[in-house]
Structure 1
Amino acid sequence: MFSKIGKLIFENEAVAKTSDFTMGIEVEMHRIDDLGNLSQEPYPASIGDEKTNNWITTDFTETMSEIVTPPAAYSLDAMHYLYGINNVLRSSLAPGELLWPLSMPPKLPKDTSHIRLAQWGPEKEAYLKEWARRHRFAEGMPCGIHINLSVDQHIIELVLKNFPDRFKTELEAKNYLYEILAQGFVRYRWLITYLFGASPIAEENYFDNDFKLEHPVRSVRQSSVGFGNKFAGDYTNVQAYVDRITRGVKEKILIKDYEFHGPVRFKGNPVLQELPKTGAEYIELRMLDLDPSSSVGIRTDTLRFIRLLASYLIMSPALKPGEVNRVLKQADQMNEEVATEHPLSTCKYQNKARALIRSLELYANQIQLGPEYQEILDDLEDRVENAKTTPSARLLAYIKDDSLEEYALRRARRYQRAAQESILKFDGFEDRQYSAKELKQALFRGNWDPNLGRR
């Protein structure tokens, strides 16, 4: 059932625009040595300065490399950018260095004091040291995929024009659409964890000696023993979101506002308190594990599914403001239950998963998306019916002595060889920075044009 906004979009034959999200991808991976230890090599010189490079940087530690793609109009274009920049990073590694392909970090030393935090200047380094002091150091080490989504401007203008009594300004209409998206993705995060969770165990020394998982799970990273703090956001609206984080900093629950590591973040202004006035420009989705079956950590089909789900959420009725926190608190609990289920077990919420996948199939047929989307949904329906086909369950076959190290190293070496065999070579960022337009030319040299409309 479409909402009033959804009906408006459908009747104006603008449905295609709801799936025309501009997308950017951020991928974190640790640099390791050939034995599976965190690398002792310095940040690769040919990448330039991690503080100023827009496309390859570091996160929590100096070993945690982060690739950031330029915004792209289509899933396939975003993936080509990701592959290109990923090859640049791999070709910049020191001899013997690899990229660890799993979300949970490689084996950690018992003494983590010698691991270098990311070199981001005095203020950020002070924040990271304080974070490490307040938390278990290992909790900052998991890696993942972040997807940035921005709504097509045509949809914002259409909604503003046709609901003048509800939205007085473009800012109000824009923020509302991003609020719908944020609420929807948090609400159905548990399904994303089930379908794409790929961290069934943690490697040596991730947990303290007095803790051990009772059994493999769907996603350590997406569970309460995984990444980050447990501070819950308020997604009722952008103002409530900002107020909640600001209060967390004031009460010293959070060190800085950017310590908020919720499954979704509103983005658009570097000064958080100004965000309600200037408006959200995109949302950042933070609930995807690395997919070790892909050299870049994510598959095109996964990105297309996220695009489809976002389109569906914009067209569907929104939660009532007074219900948002209650429903999303329940959704957080559902995600914890799903994340900690055994990967081979039938999901507790299988019937809900079936219903949502079926709704997405009906929606995809209504808006006449291509056959590739039907194939994606067919595959995901199989995952719902048979837990053995989920990524986390598939990884169980490779666990040896409570470790995935052998599997991860085999994958890492394979991906490194493939990158080194790439025909097109890019000189890197040692001497200069590149705009998005310059980066496209440097990476593809006319062999790929990210503007031809391939979803």
Structure 2
Amino acid sequence: MYWNFPEMIKLFSGEDKSNMLSEGNFGVERESQRVTSSGNLALTPHPSVFGDKFENPRITTDFSESQIEMITPPLKSASEVYSVLKDIDAEVRDGITKGELLWPLSMPPKLPNEEDIPVAQFPDTKEGREKQIYRNGLALRYGKKMQMISGIHYNFSFDDKLIEFLYGEFKIEKSKREFIDEIYFSLTRNFLRYHWLLIYLFGASPMCDETYHSVICSELEKIEKRCPCCAGVIKEFNKFATSLRVSRFGYSDTDEKKYNVYFNSLKEYENKLKEMMRAKSEKYSKLGVYKDGVQIQLNGNLLQTESEFYAPIRFKRNIKKGETQLTALVNRGVEYIEIRILDINPFEEVGIGIVEMNFLQVFNVFCLFEEGKFIDEEEMEKINTNHQLVALLGRSKDLMLYKYDGSKTPLKDFSEDIFEKLRMVAKVMDKNSVEKIYSESVEIQYKKLYNIELLPSERIYREIKDKERSYIEFGIERANIQRGEKNERKLF
């Protein structure tokens, strides 16, 4: 990129510039399964009170008919997003079938047999049919159980004032659109390098119900065939996992490794995704595109559409009629980023807290300030390895991670290096504020390095193990607590 970290800290230390770092456009998409009072997946249709799935901008479904998706509009602060998400959450709880609950965890509730899991239904229109066939294809390729995992997507873009300031300050001899793309691609490369820290701090899916074990057993069989020496360690995941959801036992892109997307430029991003959407998959082609005259997947390629590309972070652009997300990006550039690795936190009323969102803003600015060198195949291998290590073994006190100079280091030491910079960023962001919300968010997360009992993943593990109850019993308790919190809020 055009700068380095010390230079950017110095540049924004002036009181007239620091406010630009906390401003922007923010949004959240939160998925949640509807369940019965006993923790079984609800098999009822998407409530009609929420209207057409295509027309309601706040409440729709994701993969399954039982999987509610709540969407905030873009807003000017994280606190506004949190407030609106609470309102949408309350509307959902009012609208779902009496006796049903919203599942408060990312890993699924008690699931029925594969064939009984209800895929989301859409109108018999061109768009509706495409969505239907795409979901049927996902079920065919990965199994319905894996698609029942839920999470939180956090959307963000910088304020135009910040973009204008940087564009003028560094006298860029490129169009502003090219400059904006480069900013977000540089931020994304640094996000990939360090996002393992977010998995450690916010991972909240260390365990799952036994009805999901068939997915895990299938993956363990693959691991034992490819890497027998790894299998024994990975089987310890129950003790040390932070996030099964983002591990190879959840959403995984292991079949896409040879098409690694390095996020070095929009052109590379476009070419790689198009290549994956064109590449014939022997495995998926064998499944067939039609069965008994009915289309069961969009195609037999590695990706049916670009939406099937599972990445920790993605670029987004509001689309126009006739565009796909990718063509919108190519035509008009990056508008915002979508962070996709956040688990639902069962200890938060709406699955994510304001402190977490404030920390994410500090983390995004840190990723902007870092130099953002290009990623190559060797570094991407370390990035992917660190991701899996922290997701499956993050709570192990002996965990070693790969630094990008080729060395290995304890997770805590690597984290200390990052937190040193996060503190500097937060201090600059708080310069004109009395409350110091960004510095406070950093210190709250820093404590988790030396007290794992503060980690959501450890709290969940202990709540289940120490009280000798099941994953489902824990989920039902948290769901009822959240429902109670909503009722109390209405009283006042």
Q: TM-score, normalised by structure 2?
A: 0.80
Matched, 1:223 2:275: no
d(CA) in 1 for partners of 2:441 and 2:45?
40
d(CA) in 2 for partners of 1:194 and 1:347?
12
- Asked whether the equivalents of residues 178 and 280 of structure 1 are also in contact (C-alpha less than 8 Å), the reply is yes
d(CA) in 1 for partners of 2:385 and 2:341?
15
Q: Which residue of structure 2 lines up, in the alignment, with residue 155 of structure 1?
A: 162
CA shift at 1:7, angstroms?
Answer: 5.3
Count of aligned pairs = 421
d(CA) in 2 for partners of 1:246 and 1:179?
18
State which of 481, 484, 487 in structure 2 corresponds to 1:414.
481
Matched, 1:310 2:368: no
For residues 373-404 of structure 1, the C-alpha deviation after alignment (integer angstroms, 9 at most, x for no partner) is: 23222221211122232111111122257831
d(CA) in 1 for partners of 2:462 and 2:474?
10
d(CA) in 2 for partners of 1:374 and 1:346?
28
**Where does the alignment leave 5 or more consecutive residues of structure 1 unmatched?**
426-455
Q: Which residue of structure 2 lines up, in the alignment, with residue 214 of structure 1?
A: 236
Q: Which residue of structure 1 lines up, in the alignment, with residue 138 of structure 2?
A: 131
**Paired amino acid for 2:214:** D
Matched, 1:266 2:310: no
For residues 219-238 of structure 1, the C-alpha deviation after alignment (integer angstroms, 9 at most, x for no partner) is: 10121111253334331122
State which of 263, 271, 278 in structure 2 corresponds to 1:235.
263
Q: Which residue of structure 1 lines up, in the alignment, with residue 203 of structure 2?
A: 197
Q: TM-score, normalised by structure 1?
A: 0.87
Matched, 1:336 2:427: no
d(CA) in 2 for partners of 1:204 and 1:22?
40
d(CA) in 2 for partners of 1:65 and 1:336?
28
Q: Which residue of structure 2 lines up, in the alignment, with residue 380 of structure 1?
A: 445
State which of 382, 395, 399 in structure 1 corresponds to 2:464.
399
State which of 121, 124, 132 in structure 2 corresponds to 1:119.
121
d(CA) in 2 for partners of 1:168 and 1:377?
35
CA shift at 1:344, angstroms?
Answer: 5.4
SS state at 1:360 partner? helix
Matched, 1:23 2:26: yes
For residues 14-71 of structure 1, the C-alpha deviation after alignment (integer angstroms, 9 at most, x for no partner) is: 2321221211001111000001001022211211112211011100101111110111
d(CA) in 1 for partners of 2:448 and 2:394?
14
**Paired amino acid for 2:361:** R
State which of 379, 396, 406 in structure 2 corresponds to 1:327.
379
State which of 417, 421, 425 in structure 2 corresponds to 1:355.
417
**Paired amino acid for 1:240:** E
CA shift at 1:409, angstroms?
Answer: 0.3
d(CA) in 1 for partners of 2:192 and 2:62?
24
d(CA) in 2 for partners of 1:297 and 1:326?
35
CA shift at 1:280, angstroms?
Answer: 0.5
- Asked whether the equivalents of residues 349 and 485 of structure 2 are also in contact (C-alpha less than 8 Å), the reply is no
CA shift at 1:284, angstroms?
Answer: 0.3
CA shift at 1:423, angstroms?
Answer: 3.0
**Paired amino acid for 1:338:** V
SS state at 1:113 partner? helix
SS state at 1:30 partner? strand
Q: Which residue of structure 2 lines up, in the alignment, with residue 254 of structure 1?
A: 303
Equivalent runs, 1:71-150 vs 2, <5 Å = 71-109=74-112, 111-120=113-122, 121-150=128-157
Q: Which moved more, 1:117-126 or 1:97-106?
A: 117-126
d(CA) in 2 for partners of 1:4 and 1:342?
33
SS state at 1:243 partner? helix
**Paired amino acid for 2:484:** R
**Higher helix residue share:** 2
SS state at 1:87 partner? helix
CA shift at 1:325, angstroms?
Answer: 4.8
**Paired amino acid for 2:352:** I
CA shift at 1:363, angstroms?
Answer: 2.5
Q: Which moved more, 1:199-208 or 1:268-277?
A: 268-277
CA shift at 1:159, angstroms?
Answer: 2.4
State which of 423, 429, 433 in structure 1 corresponds to 2:490.
423
Distance change in 2, residues 1:384/1:161 (3 Å): same
For residues 144-194 of structure 1, the C-alpha deviation after alignment (integer angstroms, 9 at most, x for no partner) is: 110000111112222222334x44211011111111221122211110011
SS state at 1:399 partner? helix
- Asked whether the equivalents of residues 110 and 209 of structure 2 are also in contact (C-alpha less than 8 Å), the reply is yes
**Paired amino acid for 2:174:** K
Q: Which residue of structure 1 lines up, in the alignment, with residue 344 of structure 2?
A: 290
Residue identity over aligned pairs, in percent, reads 30
**Paired amino acid for 1:309:** F
Distance change in 2, residues 1:324/1:71 (3 Å): farther
**Paired amino acid for 1:182:** T
State which of 273, 284, 289 in structure 2 corresponds to 1:245.
273
- Asked whether the equivalents of residues 152 and 342 of structure 2 are also in contact (C-alpha less than 8 Å), the reply is yes
- Asked whether the equivalents of residues 430 and 437 of structure 2 are also in contact (C-alpha less than 8 Å), the reply is no
